[in-house]
């Protein structure tokens, strides 16, 4: 492993409670690496990290097919240009030990499980988008506004596995959006939920769904997605009991579909609340929802995590999903439901808030809490909480 969270590195920015970035002093940033750098989610990581105020992407790794080449020699599929600095970086094999202490993972699930565990065992802090370890009882399944206290699982994780590093995961993209909405409704005690998703093509990766299947069509099944929505949400909303998570009792029935939209997952949600609430109560809960990332002003945190829409034709993927950097959840069409009580529409950016952006925000919280104990990280944490 190279360095100690960039031991000889420093970060040029910290966070203020107003949500802006307060400069500390000039200097290099914390070096970070990326596993699975060439895939669709990996490229979104690259884009988000290219000008990040705390992190500098200095190490890339991918499959043997890409290893040994310069990153700029490989196909780049995002409209934002690839930075010259990152384009010159070599792509390494997926070998632990030589990467920076903090690494992001955009690995495919077929290789992520063993690879991420190896990196954590070798002392790396792995912030993963992959599904493999999400339901491990000692791995935090993290949405920083919802369950930051679940980071306490890391101590148990390191003790049980004998790891010098650690592993933190973000949820499935659709789960992020549903869990954020239900977290805002916790004052009214969500009891039962029915959700149907309309998931964008980009969620299937590249090249993704065959054109004959995707064009002018709705595919009524996405393997594994319904189970993720139903189980991951219960873990995220669950309570920390010592070193264990007691899952939330909310019962969720999910149906997932693939639709011909490029970016942006839409969800039609009906919810039963144990506590009576008016439309005004629910709208106020959505609009007023925030958490530790907003309190600390973390760089990727939206000032308002949940944006409400009053127009009956919003939110729409084409009009709303890119706003606020793709990190906010959009809620609209709140109205009574004759079956469960209330229903509404959700929209979130599956590649940003539902994937790469979620992991970057998770890493920012790790740094702000000084969990890796590197010198400059402690500096940032002190500044964030001052």
Which residues are catalytically annotated? 173, 265
The two tokens of residue 149 are 């206290």
Point out which residues pair with 258 in neighbouring strands. 199, 219
139/363 Cα distance (integer angstroms)? 14
Of 348, 57, 36, 301, the C-alpha closest to 202 is: 348
The two tokens of residue 347 are 């929209």
259/192 Cα distance (integer angstroms)? 26
Q: Please say whether the beta carbons of 336 and 278 come within 8 A.
A: no
Residue whose token pair is 């008016």: 278
Of 289, 319, 341, 313, the C-alpha closest to 181 is: 289
Residue whose token pair is 């500044």: 383
**What is the pairing mode between strands 239-241 and 244-246?**
antiparallel
Residue whose token pair is 């998931």: 199
Q: Please say whether the beta carbons of 292 and 145 come within 8 A.
A: yes
Q: Please, is 319 exposed, middle or buried when counting C-beta atoms within 10 Å of its C-beta (0-12, 13-18, 19+)?
A: middle
DSSP 27-75: ---EEEEEESTTSHHHHHHHHHHTT-SSEEEEEEE--TTTTTSBGGGS-
Q: Please say whether the beta carbons of 59 and 225 come within 8 A.
A: no
């Amino acid at each position: 492993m190279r360095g100690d969270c960039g031991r000889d590195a420093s970060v040029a920015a910290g966070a203020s409670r107003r949500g802006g970035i307060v400069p500390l002093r000039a200097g290099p940033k914390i070096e970070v690496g990326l596993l699975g750098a060439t895939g669709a989610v990996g490229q979104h990581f690259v884009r988000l990290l290219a000008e990040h105020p705390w992190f500098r992407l200095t190490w890339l790794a991918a499959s043997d097919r890409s290893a040994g080449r310069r990153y700029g020699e490989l196909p780049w599929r995002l409209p934002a240009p690839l930075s010259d600095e990152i384009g010159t970086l070599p792509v390494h094999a997926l070998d632990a030990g030589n990467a920076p202490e903090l690494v992001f993972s955009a690995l495919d699930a077929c290789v992520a499980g063993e690879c991420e565990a190896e990196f954590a065992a070798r002392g790396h802090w792995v912030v993963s988008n992959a599904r493999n370890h999400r339901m491990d009882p000692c791995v935090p399944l993290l949405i920083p506004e919802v369950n930051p206290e679940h980071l306490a699982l890391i101590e148990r994780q390191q003790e049980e596995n004998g790891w010098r590093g650690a592993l933190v995961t973000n949820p499935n993209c659709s789960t992020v959006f549903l869990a954020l909405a239900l977290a805002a409704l916790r004052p009214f005690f969500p009891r039962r939920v029915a959700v149907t998703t309309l998931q964008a093509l980009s969620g299937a990766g590249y090249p993704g769904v065959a054109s004959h299947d995707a064009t002018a069509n709705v595919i009524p099944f996405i393997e594994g997605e319904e189970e993720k929505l139903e189980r991951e949400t219960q873990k995220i909303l669950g309570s920390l009991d010592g070193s264990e998570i007691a899952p939330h009792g909310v019962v969720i029935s999910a149906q997932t579909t693939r639709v011909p939209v490029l970016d942006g997952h839409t969800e039609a949600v009906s919810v039963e609340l144990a506590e009576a609430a008016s439309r005004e109560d629910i709208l106020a809960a959505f609009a007023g929802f925030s958490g530790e990332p907003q309190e600390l002003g973390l760089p990727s945190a939206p000032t308002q995590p949940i944006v409400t829409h009053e127009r009956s034709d919003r939110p729409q993927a084409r009009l709303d999903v890119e706003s606020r950097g793709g990190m906010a959840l959009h809620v609209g069409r709140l109205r009574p439901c004759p079956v469960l009580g209330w229903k509404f529409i959700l929209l979130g950016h599956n590649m940003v808030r539902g994937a790469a952006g979620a992991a970057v925000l998770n890493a920012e919280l790790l740094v702000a809490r000084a969990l890796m104990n590197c010198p400059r990280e402690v500096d940032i944490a002190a500044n964030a909480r001052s």
